Amino acid sequence: MKAELLYGHRPAADWREVTARLDISLTEDLTLENLQVHYALFEVPMEAALECLPASLHPAIPAHLGVTFWRCDGGPLGAFECAWLGLACRTGIKPRHLIHAAYVTRADVGEWLQRRYGFNYEVADVHYRENYDRLQGRIVQNGRTLLDTVTTHMQPVVGAGAAVKYSPALNPARVGDQPMMVQMEAGYSFKRVIRGTPQLLTFDAAGLGDARITPKYPMSGTHALVDATLHAPRFTADFVVPAEQGGAKKIAR
């Protein structure tokens, strides 16, 4: 009996009004030294994942949401903090996160990340800190707390495996005149890693872009100190045609 593949159910028409525009002329690598990265995963109902993913993407099993915080204290972009949320998915066999909400403390950094990778950032108070007994990440916009999360019971990750696998972000963006999904490209050199159990204190699903996506169970939470090298995006993915049928293509420059 042949196994049936799962695909998203969200119609292609939902993506026609994508406004973020990719600037393919931005090709130079950019390195952010001593970047602090918080990465937390939470299970969500499979029905919600299928409703929110386009027909070209497979849902992750179990279906889950990724929450990522970056705290950068300096470097070529200056000091900033940002966060994004995305549904775990696969293009072919490769794990990704389809981003549906993103926030940054500085508008100019958000504009650069939009032109570089298609992130549709909104300005907000993004606050991420490592404390002695917890990791704390918060997003507040116009006085409204959209997300407040903590990770506790932390343990260091040491040895040759002291790394975190970050699934690359996929952002809906226009490449030329075509709405596509753009894959973020980045490499990480890990200096320190800890992991623990995440917990959501506040999660405003509607305020964060989609009331259907409500986390149910914590999976894992990590903190890492890294040097991150941001590369120019190389690939796009179609909203309808799966990668295994030719929907993933290299960006022509």
pLDDT of residue 195: 95
Report the pLDDT value the prediction gives residue 3, as an integer from 0 to 100.
Answer: 57
Distances (CA, A) of 78 to 52, 84, 118, 192, 211: 34, 19, 20, 22, 33
Structure tokens that stand for 138 in this block: 């918060």
pLDDT tens string for the chain (253 positions)? 455 789 999 998 898 889 899 999 999 999 999 999 999 999 999 999 999 999 999 999 999 999 999 999 999 999 999 999 999 999 988 999 999 999 999 999 999 999 999 999 999 999 999 998 999 999 999 999 999 999 999 999 988 778 999 999 999 999 988 999 999 999 999 999 999 999 999 999 999 989 999 999 999 999 999 999 999 999 999 999 999 999 999 998 8
The DSSP output letter for 160 is: T
The DSSP annotation for 82-140 comes to EEEEEEEEEETTEEEEEEEEEEES-HHHHHHHHHHH----EE-EEEEEE-SS-EEEEEE
Q: Which CATH architecture has domain 31-250?
A: Beta Barrel (2.40)
Q: Please compute Rg for the chain using Cα positions.
A: 17
In the chain, the largest separation of any two C-alpha atoms, in whole Å, equals: 56
pTM listed for this prediction:
0.95
Helix (H) or strand (E) holding 251: none
Closest CA to 226 of 194, 185, 190: 190
What's the confidence (pLDDT) of residue 1? 45
26 neighbors 47 (Cβ within 8 angstroms)? no
- 8 Å CB contact between 152 and 133: yes
Please identify which residue in the block is written with the tokens 């099993």: 61
